[in-house]
């Protein structure tokens, strides 16, 4: 089993749709959680961190469920510019402090 | 401007010819890391460095070396490149990896080993 797993998609949605991505992680010692966005093989850029209490940034909502070991990203009112690959990122603690693990990414295409 | 730079951006080389990909950051970050990205596999961590002279293996360190002699630089060395090291490489830096600090990525280096 991969340490961090995402549904690779692709997700094809119309503008204005709501879309949700999930990401599961297997290491219960994981410490920090993030969603990054990557456009067409360019460098990944931070979209948002995922806090235990859940957090929202405009049209984006991220949630963490430590008991079930998954994080989610909800995008409301999708825009064409949201088309990208969304990467789930988990940092480890303990003896693996400093190691980061990326999911393989979920491809989103928003069409007119 | 805060940034991570990598050079070269594109490189085509032949099997066995030693090469170095440079990475430099101007944010005084302690933590730096190298990743490779391959289709279907996502980004995988090669090596990381918590500070000057402190480096550690990531998930796929075989065939790579790194050094951290200065805080700002973290070169990736391929002593004897092989075709299976053809990939897109990213360098990244952050203040600390355990807190909710953003990782800043360089623009990537496309390496082809023939």
Per-residue model confidence as pLDDT tens for chain A (112 residues): 788 999 888 999 999 999 999 999 998 888 889 999 999 879 999 999 998 888 999 999 999 999 999 999 999 999 999 999 999 999 877 666 778 899 999 999 999 9
**Mind listing the pLDDT tens digit for each residue in A89-101?**
998 776 667 788 9
Residue in A43, A87, A99 closest to B45 by CB: A99
CA angle A16, A17, A19 (to 5 degrees): 140
pLDDT for B58 beyond 80 = yes
pLDDT value, residue A9? 85
pLDDT value, residue B83? 97
Residue in B41, B50, B100 closest to A49 by CB: B100
Retrieve residue B6's tokens.
């990598």
Label residue B39 exposed, middle or buried (CB < 10 Å: 0-12, 13-18, 19+). exposed
**Mind listing the pLDDT tens digit for each residue in B26-40?**
999 999 999 999 988
pLDDT value, residue B15? 97
User: Does A87 sit within 8 Å of B97, measured CB to CB?
Assistant: no
pLDDT value, residue B44? 94
Q: What CA–CA distance (Å, rounded) separates B60 from B31?
A: 18
| Residues B45-49, mean pLDDT to the nearest whole number | 95
Q: What CA–CA distance (Å, rounded) separates A52 from A32?
A: 9
Nearest-CA distance B96 → chain A (Å) = 8
pLDDT value, residue B57? 93
Q: Is A97 on the interface with B (CB under 8 A)?
A: yes
Coil, strand, or helix at residue A29? Answer: coil
**Mind listing the pLDDT tens digit for each residue in A44-56?**
999 999 988 889 9
Q: What is the mean pLDDT of chain B?
A: 94
| Residues B60-66, mean pLDDT to the nearest whole number | 97
By CA distance, what is B50's nearest residue in A?
A: A98
Q: In DSSP terms, which residues pair with B44 in a beta bridge?
A: B36
How far, rounded to the nearest angstrom, does the alpha carbon of residue A9 sit from its chain's CA centroid? 13
Q: Is A45 on the interface with B (CB under 8 A)?
A: yes
Retrieve residue B24's tokens.
């430099």
B48 φ, ψ (degrees, to nearest 5)? -140, 165
């Amino acid at each position: 089993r991969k340490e961090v797993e995402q549904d690779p998609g692709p997700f094809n949605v119309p503008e204005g749709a709501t879309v949700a991505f999930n990401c599961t992680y297997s290491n219960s010692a994981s410490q920090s959680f993030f969603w990054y966005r990557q456009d067409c093989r360019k460098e990944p850029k931070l979209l948002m961190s995922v806090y235990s209490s859940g957090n929202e940034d405009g049209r984006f909502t991220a949630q963490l469920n430590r008991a079930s070991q998954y994080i989610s990203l909800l995008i409301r009112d999708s825009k064409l510019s949201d088309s990208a690959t969304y990467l789930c990122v988990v940092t480890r603690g303990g003896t693996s402090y400093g190691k980061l693990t990326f999911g393989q990414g979920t491809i989103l295409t928003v069409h007119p | 401007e805060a940034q991570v730079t990598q050079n070269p951006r594109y490189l085509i080389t032949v099997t066995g010819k030693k090469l170095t990909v440079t990475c430099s950051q101007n944010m005084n970050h302690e933590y730096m890391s190298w990743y490779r990205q391959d289709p279907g596999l996502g980004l995988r961590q090669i090596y990381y460095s918590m500070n000057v002279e402190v480096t550690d293996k990531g998930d796929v360190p075989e065939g790579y070396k790194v050094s951290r002699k200065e805080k700002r630089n973290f070169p990736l060395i391929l002593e004897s490149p092989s075709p299976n090291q053809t990939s897109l490489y990213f360098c990244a830096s952050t203040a600390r990896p355990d807190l909710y600090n953003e990782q800043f990525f360089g623009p990537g280096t496309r390496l082809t080993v023939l």
